[in-house]
Amino acid sequence: MLFQPLLPPKYNNLTDDEFALAIAERKRQLGKRLVILGHHYQRDDVIQFADFTGDSLKLSQAGAAQKGAEFIIFCGVHFMAESADILGDDRVKVILPDLSAGCSMADMAEIEQLEEAWEFIVEECSETIVPITYVNSAASIKAFCGGHGGACCTSSNASKVLEWAFTQAGKVIFLPDQHLGRNTAYAMGIPLDQMVVYDPKQPRGGLTPEQVRDAKVLLWKGHCSVHGLFTVAQCDEIRRNDPICKILVHPECPWEVVQKADLAGSTEFIIRTVKESAPGSHWAIGTEIHLVHRLATQHPDKAIRSLAGVQCLCSTMYRIDMKHMLWCLDELLAGRIVNQIKVDPETKRLARIALQRMLANVNPQPMAVR
């Protein structure tokens, strides 16, 4: 686990306005040497400084395109900064403002667990199997997939990547998010009874050899702690109280929720759908609360609310704040690089294969339309 050092006391005594002015000035001083990437789930006071905003796919592309900059400050979580380092120019230094900004989903798949699972699955299956990992995973997991004929995907292009995988083999293991894997495969016409869940905490994943052999898709038992908060009951309540409201959810939500929704798709799809919808339309959105609030602010002519009554907040993304951003910028101006995210060369080489296959299969599509 990475350790985030305590910041000097001076960073505890500034107002939000003082932080904002100072960050803007440091950005001006660094000029083209610096690029700031901001994920859509970031808080508003951070996202205002981003040169590029997007979901993990869009930011992967933006990070890879940075050839002239010296530094990328990635306002996201650890696996995203790793991906930027893997895909980017070796001369560009990638910085994560707060090293404690991780991802609970990514932590649900460890390389030792995957190696053990792979040994069991390969032992029981005579056919070829392709490993596919959601981009929300550690560099070591991406490298494993790249080294074993597999690829990464995002929620934007999971269906496209799975289509590619099934041209390579008849069986796929999808990790670490079982919900994205299940929702994507089901939307492609694969029935639920051809999917099984591999639980890395159970001996042999809690599966029999027959289950492994019969399954077309093996789903890793992992999930997003934010999107797991959305429920069928919330959908039913929306239908009762606001019959004209459309339910729009992210495919990291459980399968039952996606089936209840009118539309399901990636963060970029959610943004585009709301933007292109008619004035006066009503939307209940099942995704991270900062994005929902931002959409409501940007589109006051539409009624936009969270699907859930609770605050569905990505708490680790929230750790990126103006305090840590200013500290990183001050250190850069002093000639010091702090919180650099650097992937070792061999892991980078193999992970880049998986990520490049992801980028070669870009075809954002909605997952479900009713």
Based on the domain organization, do 199 and 247 belong to the same domain?
Answer: no
- List the structure tokens of 18: 């003082």
- List the structure tokens of 370: 């009713």
Helices 56-64 and 78-87: crossing angle, nearest 10°? 30
Compute and round to an integer the Cα radius of gyration of the chain.
21
The one-letter amino acid code at 240 reads R
**Spatial CA neighbour of 166 closest among 182, 155, 151:** 151
Could you read off the pLDDT of 297-328 as tens digits, one per residue?
999 999 999 999 766 657 676 788 999 999 99
Q: What is the mean pLDDT of residues 20-32?
A: 96
Q: Look at strands 368-369 and 263-264 and give their pairing.
A: antiparallel
Work out the angle at residue 275's Cα, subtended by the Cα atoms of residues 24 and 81, and round it to the nearest 5 degrees.
45
| pLDDT of res. 64 | 78
Give me the CATH number covering residue 191.
3.40.50
Residue 345 burial (CB count, 10 A): 9
Give 365's contacts (C-beta < 8 A, 6+ positions apart): 159, 160, 265, 269
**For residue 149, which phi and psi values (nearest 5 degrees)?**
80, 15
Could you read off the pLDDT of 325-343 as tens digits, one per residue?
999 999 999 999 999 999 9
Residue 63 burial (CB count, 10 A): 27
The one-letter amino acid code at 211 reads Q
Could you read off the pLDDT of 192-227 as tens digits, one per residue?
999 999 999 999 999 999 999 999 999 999 998 888
**Contact in structure between 85 and 48 (CB atoms under 8 Å):** no
Which of 206, 225, 244 marks a domain boundary? 225
| pLDDT of res. 251 | 96
Based on the domain organization, do 214 and 240 belong to the same domain?
Answer: no
Q: Note whether residue 323 is domain-resident.
A: yes
**Contact in structure between 195 and 211 (CB atoms under 8 Å):** no
CA distance 318 to 325: 12
CA distance 270 to 92: 31
**Spatial CA neighbour of 269 closest among 156, 187, 179:** 156
Q: Note whether residue 277 is domain-resident.
A: yes
| pLDDT of res. 365 | 46
CA distance 349 to 317: 27
Give me the CATH number covering residue 231.
3.40.50.10800
**Spatial CA neighbour of 61 closest among 43, 40, 80, 79:** 80
| pLDDT of res. 215 | 97
**Spatial CA neighbour of 78 closest among 94, 89, 54:** 94
pLDDT at position 364 over 90: no
Based on the domain organization, do 210 and 233 belong to the same domain?
Answer: no
Which of 200, 225, 250 marks a domain boundary? 225
Residue 351 pLDDT level (bands cut at 50, 70, 90): very high
Q: Look over the chain and give the mean of its residue pLDDT values, rounded to a whole number.
A: 91
Q: What is the mean pLDDT of residues 120-138?
A: 93
Q: What is the mean pLDDT of residues 232-247?
A: 96
Residue 203 burial (CB count, 10 A): 9
pLDDT at position 366 over 90: no
Which of 254, 277, 306 marks a domain boundary? 306
Q: Note whether residue 367 is domain-resident.
A: no
pLDDT at position 370 over 80: no
CA distance 224 to 250: 11
The DSSP bridge partners found for residue 286 are 249
Q: Note whether residue 356 is domain-resident.
A: no
Number of domains in the chain: 3
Q: Note whether residue 355 is domain-resident.
A: no
**For residue 263, which phi and psi values (nearest 5 degrees)?**
-145, 150
Give 220's contacts (C-beta < 8 A, 6+ positions apart): 108, 109, 117, 173, 174, 175, 176, 177, 178, 181, 197, 198, 200
What is the domain extent for residue 128? 111-225
Could you read off the pLDDT of 86-97 as tens digits, one per residue?
988 888 999 999
Q: Note whether residue 117 is domain-resident.
A: yes
**Contact in structure between 340 and 37 (CB atoms under 8 Å):** no
**Contact in structure between 129 and 172 (CB atoms under 8 Å):** yes
- List the structure tokens of 260: 């209840």
